[in-house]
Structure 1
Amino acid sequence: MAEDVLPKPAGPVAEPPAPACLADYAERARAVLPPEVWDYIDGGSGAEITLAANRRALDRVAVLPRVLRGVPTPRTETRLLGAPSALPVAVAPIAYQRLVHPDGELALAAAAAAAGVPYLASTLGSVPIEQVAKAGGSVWFQLYWLRDRGLVTDLLDRAHAAGCTALTVTVDVPVLGRRLRDVRNAFAVPPHVVAANLPAGRDDLAHTAMPGVSAIATHTHAVFAPALTWDDLDWLRGCTALPLVVKGILDPRDAVLAVAAGADAVVVSNHGGRQLDGAPATAAVLPEVVAAVADRCEVLMDSGIRGGMDVLRALALGANGVLVGRPMLWALAVGGQAGAEAALTLLADEFRDALALTGCADPAAARELSTRTVD
């Protein structure tokens, strides 16, 4: 055989470059996750109109930078619910995190602690709240209202005993939004991933696959209370001295009612486009909610946050901070705790750059920026 046609020795496989933005984690997560799991975390409800609107609305927010402000190195630190946070960011509550990585909530909570930002632990977490709280840092417990009031009381007791620093109640899930990707995939949670905060067997329906049915929707219909009222929120306020956050507010009138019920913060949220398809993008209604509460409580925003510039946009629209969800799952899927830590570091770097480029010394200054809506 001629020398010039001999097979060449295989060289080392080049490592892919480190992610340069959070969207890079999305591409890698999609490559490593089963298609039905990717659809579960990536999808929205209905025709995914609201899911897409979240991103479009943020992209239409132009921020007017200030100049000659003498800001050599901006500070990213702030306070959320009266406690220090390294960024105006918290990790959003996300169910069943062991779907994307074996360490699940333990890894993501540890990454949030390392980054110095709050972590919201979901009622439907796949690791018990007691173990998640031991990861360190500030852990807020997110409550889904259950039909069994005794289980609600038990979850509250456990959250207090575990040392959670705030309580968040999600109010936009009377029923689960019709998530067509899950319906088409007949998606069911694998048996090894459980709703670890519920009694054994209470999530069996989530594991039962049937054609044309989302098993998660079947499960939540069976265990979630569909008729939560403001009286229930009054009861909840009386059950805890922790800061109370009401998540799932879009109408400014509801924000006012939440303040009257004793909320310390509201989260302007459409559940990442996963509930009412046709609800407005959160960035579109955020200023109205901020004006309605008039500094009587903190205002956070989620749904569509994909980078440091989005954090700055939310602050310029009046928010005190944001919750970031899907990007943290992407990073968790790609690299576990280390991946999530790297993603939060990247987010901090992007936010610091955005502050510098707009002449802001800190997050408080970002709330004084002016914005324009552009096409």
Structure 2
Amino acid sequence: MKDILNWLSSPSSRALESKELIETLNQKIIEAGIPVWRFFTSIPTMHPEVMVRSLIWTRGEETQVVLIPHDGLQQQQYKDSPIFLIREGARDFIRCKLVGPDADLSYPICVDLREKGGTDYCIFVSVFGTNIRSAISWTTDAPGGFTDEQIESLNSIRSVLSLRLDLESRKFAVNELLEVYLGPNASKRVLSGEFMRGTGETIYAAILCADLRDFSSLSENNSPKRIVEVLDHYFELTAQPIQEEKGEILKFIGDAILAVFPAEENDPHKACLAALNAARKIQNSVTQWNAEHPETQIHLGMALNVGDVVYGNVGAKDRLDFTVIGNAVNQAFRVESLCKDFGKNILTTEEFANKAGKENFEFVGARNLKGITGERNIYSPLK
């Protein structure tokens, strides 16, 4: 076992992602003479949707990675499992013989494992961070099950593996939380070292901004809890189409959204079409929502623009924001404020209409935009 413990602490082990780590580890355990057949662990996360990541390795099969939502721990199946006792602190170790006169089939998982050929099952506590309890288990299909010496060896591996998985959990948490709060592209930039104030680059991109209308009325006529529920639905309706069209949401500003569609390979036409498709999908989703929820209608205005923006870190020395700034962004928000005046849900600048294909738009009027010199022609997509 010493070689396995040394390997778990080595740089070569630390370079592996959790899935490959588990596969390699269990192969080494088999080579050391312990006939493990199945392995399970659950790794806590810091994610708004996912409570734990479970990894299930079975000899000769593809390793499964299962994401368990927060409400998954409320299900009866979980409460009837030995994992529940381990996580709640009632036990640190449970062993269940699966065959023979001493068989213990008091847990549904044990019945399932025996039906699949398992002969012995052991589960240990695994501690993450500040005493967050989770579990690691092994099952064998060897006749007679595990020996006591093999159980002791697995326990020694478990103690080192727990530390290794804790590091993996922290790494996963940093990556996932940054992606949730900053978006996939911005989070990668921050993790790669672009976190100093004033750093950034100028990119050419299509811009989409959306703003919820009549929010004051919504606030007056609904409880705070209901307002949050409606806002969550509104952001979900807008976020999914943006992500489907490869856009990146940079900000939720109160009840407004700012997203960009970078012009990759110097192709602004493609970026503008993606932004336009996203806006149309959003409008369709909102229309469907309103038909299904006549008691709580959602109304929004959207504006599309295209141009150079600075993409990077701005803010105070101890409080930064990764966002886009520039005249093109300002114009987009100014144009969006005209949606109600023109009676349109989607408005665009002339620059955007030109890049996306002007034949697909109608001219709706010219307006002075606050803080921007000269009248600007405003367009709306044809249906």
With normalisation by structure 2, the TM-score equals 0.21
With normalisation by structure 1, the TM-score equals 0.21
Structure with the bigger RCO (C-alpha within 8 Å, sep 6+) is 1
Answer with 1 or 2: which has the greater Rg: 2
Q: Which structure has greater strand proportion?
A: 2
